[in-house]
Amino acid sequence: MSGCHQIRKQLIAAIFAVIYLVGVAIAHAQSSPNASFYGGRTANGSSNSGWSARLASAREYVPAGTQTRPVDDQPAIRTSEPADGQPADATGANNREDTGGPWQNDMPDSFSDGSWTTRNDFAPGYAVGNRACCPDSRVWFRSEYLMWWNKSAEVPALATTSPDGTPQAQAGVLGQTGTEVLFSNGGVNPGSRSGGRFNLGYWFCPSCQEDGIEASYLFLAYRAVGLDEASQGSPILAQPFFNTQTGLQDSLVVAYPGVNTGSLNIAVASTLHSSDLVWRHSMVREECYRLDFLAGYRNAGFNESVTSATSTIIYGDTQGLVPTGTMINATDRFSARNDFNGGELGVSTQTNSGPWTLNLLAKVALGNTRSRVNVDGTTVTAVPQQAVVTNTGGLYALPTNIGNYTQNHISVLPELGATLDYRLTGRLKVSFGYTFLYWSRVARPGNLIDPNINPTQIPPGQLTGMPAPQFKFLPTDFWAQGLNVGLEYRF
């Protein structure tokens, strides 16, 4: 019940965050004298029911260089300027026409007719004083480099060491004097990791930019961290576990002075990807400000694995238990694949000031996460002058927990972002921002490793007594956050 209660709290918090952002944006728009809503009226009382009618009522076409009256009590603005060093006159004889600069090119074609116009001639998102805040484009594409961090993986202690001279029965045993954990018994953090994000959008009407669709895809590249140790007997290497037969901490010695040499390799690796397809509808538009409503579909995938591999060569006295020269290679592997599919709602805002644009984004997706876990282990034993033998099971992955497991659960996947753009040209922008991504319920393999082991089934043994280790789903949450820098081009 506590897990369900936590999900409800996370969902309610995410929904209220989106509602709050919408409320703030609408309140801001209503407080602005230039705010406009579809089907409503602007502060000066003019209709905003359709841009064609709005433009027709706001503009009088006259030849370039001819004085015209202001519309809606706003001063006239001309699209031609005096030639260098020449005063402007009413006939336009000394006027030089703009022919392709960023000011002219960023305006809709219907404005490039040489006529005088007014501030109200521009669709929302255009500001005369700041040149074109929003170019008249149909398609936009953004490519970003990501430097992100994610939540650590919780992994039990998988490797230990002890000082030379420690009795073999106590070597690497947790709780014994001098025992040191080499990996992990806590969070395993991969540190910063690289990735990429790509956005492609399309406006159905490039001049009004009211409705459109947008697709996005992001990924974090494969990243692995772990331990790679080899020893000729010193230092001591061991794998700790809790012995269910004795009820005490125990260990499997990988390298010990005078007995065996060995190596121990542990890796925790993961990848992340997410994509969505949303319909974008403009709810609020004013001069150099807009608020869009987003609705669509989201898919995400998070894959993680924990692998432990040991190699041991017996060269000393084992009291006749293992022949000298025997090589034992054991591998334990726990992997989890999480796939999310669900519906998504959100809002985004854009605020322009000169060449700068601040973009704020809040989205939340609700859907199903399918978690698939694979537990596998093998031991390969090579005894001199005998055939190589392969057995099922390593140490942490044994016949009692080896297998494939699947679970479905409802998850919430919110995303928050803030990006600052700088316009290099009328079509090209450079961006820098921050993104936070959260996933409420995922399977992580480190949580699924059971350190309680019945050593009777360690290969080549057969189980006697309590079946251990055992498998149990223990879903947890996951987050990733970081910085992004990129370019956007509109055409």
Q: What is the pLDDT of residues 148-178, one digit of tens each?
A: 999 999 999 999 999 999 999 999 999 999 9
In whole angstroms, give the CA distance from residue 372 to residue 340: 12
Identity of the residue numbered 24: V
258 contact partners, CB below 8 Å, separation of at least 6 = 233, 316, 317
* DSSP symbol at 83: P
Tell me if 429 sits within 8 A of 443, measured CB to CB: no
Alpha carbon 361 to its chain centroid, in Å, reads 14
Tell me if 304 sits within 8 A of 444, measured CB to CB: yes
Select from 330, 197, 341, 193 the least CA-distant residue to 268.
193
Identity of the residue numbered 349: T
Higher pLDDT, 83 or 176: 176
- At 214 the pLDDT is 98
373 contact partners, CB below 8 Å, separation of at least 6 = 334, 335, 336, 337, 404, 405, 406, 443, 445, 448, 471, 473
Model confidence, pTM = 0.75
Tell me if 189 sits within 8 A of 224, measured CB to CB: no
Identity of the residue numbered 154: E
Residue 446 backbone zone (phi > 0: left; psi -120 to 50: alpha; other: beta)? alpha
What CATH number belongs to 139-490?
2.40.128.90
- At 14 the pLDDT is 54
Prior bond to 399 cis, omega within 30? no
87-114 b/e with 16+ CB inside 10 Å = b? Answer: ebeeebeebeebeeeeeebbbbeebeeb
Tell me if 378 sits within 8 A of 398, measured CB to CB: no
- At 19 the pLDDT is 54
Q: List the domain boundaries for the chain.
A: 38-123, 139-490
- At 207 the pLDDT is 83
In whole angstroms, give the CA distance from residue 355 to residue 422: 6
Select from 122, 276, 199, 280 the least CA-distant residue to 489.
199
Lookup: tokens for 22: 């919408």
Alpha carbon 462 to its chain centroid, in Å, reads 45
Strands 452-453 and 237-243: parallel
Q: What is the pLDDT of residues 333-359, one digit of tens each?
A: 999 999 999 999 999 999 999 999 999
Q: What is the pLDDT of residues 17-53, one digit of tens each?
A: 555 554 555 554 444 444 433 333 343 444 343 434 4
Half-sphere exposure of residue 127: CA atoms within 13 angstroms, side-chain side: 17
Residue 483 pLDDT > 60: yes
